[in-house]
């Protein structure tokens, strides 16, 4: 083969002149054959052209075409030989690499992998079944408690408001009263026990309590009393009739609810319930405002006592042992509840002088009282600024001083006795210190400005007066002895209820004067009637017998 290759190389050009196979483009056998076939065609055409051109030129061209054919043949033989060598090398590589054995090993490895995957899946399935059964058992046992600890957003529910109804309003007030009844009964029994309403019961309770306090059994005693109370409630719920109370309970008559109410009855019912609610809310507001003012140093001399007491309790708790401290507190509470409170309740003057908690609570002002005090202070400053050179008045201008109690009475426009041209001894009754808002209807007048006037009604010891905006000439003063007739009056008969006015007949008026639009009509009527009867009784007693 090598000798033949040398011959081929000798016939054609040198080896160095040919392109290297690594640098030459990859071509197939068919491409080579096509080139060989195409070139003779071009050569035949060129030979025909050369024959036509001439014999001399054709001889030169034949030598060139032979050399080209030799070159093509050489290339073709070289390509065939290299292809043969490559095929032999490929067959040797296949024999050395053992492709079939590798394929068999690959198939075996695939089978092993599939078997391992099946085994792993079986193990995982068995574990999942065990874990699922264990988790299911845990959830059945403790799932309810676990669900309680799950964090969830709080659901905001909007309560539907019921429309205003007289029946529902009265029912709610009765429910509130029934709900407070156990608390009021308990407080009433405690008060009766402290005031020695039943001497034997209070004495036994005092001895038992002091014995328990001496031995340090106060807390167990109260726990035992709570258990005893619950046991009695259980028996009562079972149908036993057990009634134990220091103060006999007063059973209030329960009115059966009326189904069909007239418009006037409904209106009056709403007014009664609104008045009760107003009084209840007023009491609760007074309590809360007093507590707030106590801690906010509104009355420094009162809060100072609480401050000192807290420091004393703090130092005692740090120095004294708890057993001794508890013994002192228990003994003091028993003596205070059973003896000191009984003495203070029996002797009010002692209570007003020495009962510190009572003094603090009664002297604590509410926000309404603070507002009134600020208004009085402003009026005092205004009157003092207006008459700095006058020092003869015992009380500032616009204020009437009660010599006995040291209180000042005033209206928004000045001193009470000056506004109504009354003696200085005349002052409003305690019931109407601030007066009652009303409107005076003088039916003798015909002009609209004089017919109805808004103002405030006051009642003194001898007079009934009404203050209105404007000059003092527009104020009305009526002597109680000049009253001929007084009665409750209903201005408009169309409106429901018993009315909100008072009719007063005097000799100076042809028609009775009416004080209408009074929210506290019954209170004002009772005050005027009571004072009128008192003055009338005093006048009849002072007049000589006939």
Confidence band (pLDDT; 50, 70, 90) for 393? very low
Please name the CATH architecture into which domain 422-542 falls.
Roll (2.30)
Of 290, 421, 296, 283, the closest CA to residue 364 belongs to 290
H-only helix segments in 296-430: 300-319, 322-335, 341-346, 348-354, 356-363, 367-386, 416-419
What is the predicted pLDDT for the residue at 333?
Answer: 93
- What is the per-residue pLDDT for 68? 80
> Residue length, the chain?
546
Tokens matching residue 451: 């017919």
Highest mean pLDDT among 57-66, 204-213, 447-456: 204-213
- 219-230 pLDDT per residue, tens: 999 999 999 989
Separation CA 432–CA 519 (nearest Å): 13
State which of 170-179, 270-279, 388-397 shows the largest mean pLDDT: 170-179
- Chain segment 305-324, per-residue pLDDT in tens: 999 999 999 999 999 998 99
Spatial separation of the C-alpha atoms in residues 207 and 359, rounded to whole Å: 29
**33 pLDDT exceeds 60?**
no
| Continuous segment of H or E residues that includes residue 52 | helix 29-53
> What whole-number distance in Å separates Cα of residue 481 and Cα of residue 506?
9
Over 50: is that where the pLDDT of 261 sits?
yes
Q: What is the pLDDT of residue 144?
A: 72
- Which residue shows structure tokens 């208004």? 375
pLDDT of residue 467: 58
pLDDT at 226: 93
Q: Name the 3-class secondary structure at 119.
A: helix
**What pLDDT score does 314 carry?**
94
Nearest to 458 by CA among 413, 405, 397, 512: 413
Rounded to whole angstroms, how far apart are CA atoms 252 and 184?
Answer: 14
- Average pLDDT of the residues of the chain: 75
The angle at the Cα of 308, spanning 304 to 311, to the nearest 5 degrees, equals 140
> What CA–CA distance (Å, rounded) separates 442 from 511?
8
Question: Between 40 and 275, where is the model more confident?
Answer: 275
Rounded to two decimals, the pTM is 0.49
Q: What is the pLDDT of residue 295?
A: 94
In terms of DSSP bridges, do strands 400-401 and 408-411 run parallel, antiparallel, or are they unpaired? antiparallel
Min mean pLDDT across 112-126, 237-251, 297-311 is at 237-251
Cβ-based neighbour number of residue 221 at 10 Å = 16
Domain locations along the chain: 69-148, 167-241+271-363, 422-542
What pLDDT is attached to residue 315?
94
pLDDT for the residue numbered 13: 43
**Confidence bin at 463 (pLDDT 50/70/90):** low
pLDDT band, very low/low/confident/very high, at 403 (cuts 50, 70, 90): very low
Torsion of CA 57, 58, 62, 64, to 10 degrees: 30
pLDDT value at 278 more than 80: yes
**Rounded-to-5 percentages of helix, strand, coil across the chain:** 65, 10, 30
**What is the distance between the alpha carbons of residues 150 and 438, in angstroms, rounded to a whole number?**
62
Task: Report percent pLDDT > 90 for the chain.
Answer: 19
Helix (H, G, I), strand (E, B) or coil at 114: helix
Query: What's the average model confidence in pLDDT over 145-165?
Result: 74
| Structure confidence at residue 38 (pLDDT) | 41
Mean pLDDT of 244-254: 62
How far apart (Å, rounded) are the C-alpha atoms in residues 73 and 62? 16
Confidence label for 5 from pLDDT (cuts 50, 70 and 90): very low
Confidence of residue 16 (pLDDT cuts 50, 70, 90): very low
pLDDT tier at 51, thresholds 50, 70, 90 = low
Q: Which helix or strand (DSSP H or E) is residue 513 part of? A: strand 513-516
Tens digits of residue pLDDT in 101-126: 778 888 889 999 999 998 888 887 77
Q: What is the pLDDT of residue 465?
A: 63
């Amino acid at each position: 083969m090598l000798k033949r290759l040398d011959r081929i190389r000798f016939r054609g050009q040198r080896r160095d002149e040919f392109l290297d196979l690594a640098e030459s483009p990859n071509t197939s056998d068919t491409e080579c054959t096509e080139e060989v076939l195409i070139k003779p065609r071009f050569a035949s055409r060129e030979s025909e052209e050369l024959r036509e051109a001439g014999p001399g030129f054709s001889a030169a061209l034949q030598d060139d075409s032979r050399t080209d054919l030799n070159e093509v043949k050489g290339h073709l033989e070289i390509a065939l030989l290299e292809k043969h060598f490559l095929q032999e090398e490929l067959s040797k590589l296949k024999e050395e690499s053992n492709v079939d054995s590798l394929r068999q090993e690959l198939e075996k490895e695939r089978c092993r992998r599939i078997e391992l995957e099946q085994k792993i899946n079986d193990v995982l399935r068995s574990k999942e079944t065990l874990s699922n059964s264990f988790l299911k058992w845990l959830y059945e046992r403790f799932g309810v408690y676990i669900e309680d600890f799950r964090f969830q957003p709080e659901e905001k529910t909007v309560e539907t408001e019921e429309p205003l109804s007289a029946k529902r309003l009265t029912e709610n007030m009765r429910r509130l009263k029934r709900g407070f009844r156990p608390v009021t009964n308990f407080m009433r029994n405690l008060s009766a026990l402290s005031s020695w309403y039943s001497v034997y019961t209070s004495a036994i309770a005092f001895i038992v309590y002091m014995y328990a306090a001496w031995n340090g059994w106060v807390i167990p005693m109260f726990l035992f009393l709570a258990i005893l109370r619950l046991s009695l409630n259980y028996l009562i719920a079972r149908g036993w009739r057990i009634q134990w109370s220091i103060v006999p309970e007063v059973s209030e008559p329960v009115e059966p609810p009326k189904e069909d109410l007239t418009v006037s009855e409904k209106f009056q019912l709403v007014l009664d319930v609104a008045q009760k609610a107003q009084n209840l809310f007023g009491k609760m507001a007074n309590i809360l405002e007093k507590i707030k003012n106590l801690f906010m140093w509104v009355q420094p001399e009162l809060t100072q006592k609480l401050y000192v007491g807290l420091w004393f309790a703090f130092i005692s708790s740090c120095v004294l042992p708890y057993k001794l401290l508890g013994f002192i507190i228990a003994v003091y509470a028993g003596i205070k509840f059973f003896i000191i409170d009984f003495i203070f309740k029996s002797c009010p003057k002692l209570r007003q002088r020495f009962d510190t908690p009572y003094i603090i609570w009664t002297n604590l002002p509410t926000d309404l009282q603070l507002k009134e005090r600020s208004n009085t202070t402003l009026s005092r400053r205004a009157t003092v600024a207006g008459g700095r050179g006058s020092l003869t008045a015992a009380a500032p201008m616009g204020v009437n001083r009660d010599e006995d109690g040291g209180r000042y009475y005033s209206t928004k426009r000045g001193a009470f006795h000056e506004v109504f041209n009354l003696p200085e001894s005349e002052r409003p009754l305690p019931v109407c210190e601030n007066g009652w808002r009303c409107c005076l209807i003088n039916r003798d007048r015909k002009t609209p400005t004089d017919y109805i006037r808004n103002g405030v009604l006051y009642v003194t010891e001898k007079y009934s007066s009404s203050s209105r905006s404007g000059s003092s000439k527009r104020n009305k003063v009526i002597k109680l002895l000049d009253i001929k007739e007084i009665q409750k009056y209903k201005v408009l008969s169309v409106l429901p209820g018993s009315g909100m006015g008072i009719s007063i007949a005097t000799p100076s008026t042809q028609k009775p004067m009416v004080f209408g639009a009074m929210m506290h009509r019954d209170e004002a009527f009772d005050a005027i009637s009571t004072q009128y009867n008192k003055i009338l009784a005093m006048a009849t007693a002072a007049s000589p017998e006939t």
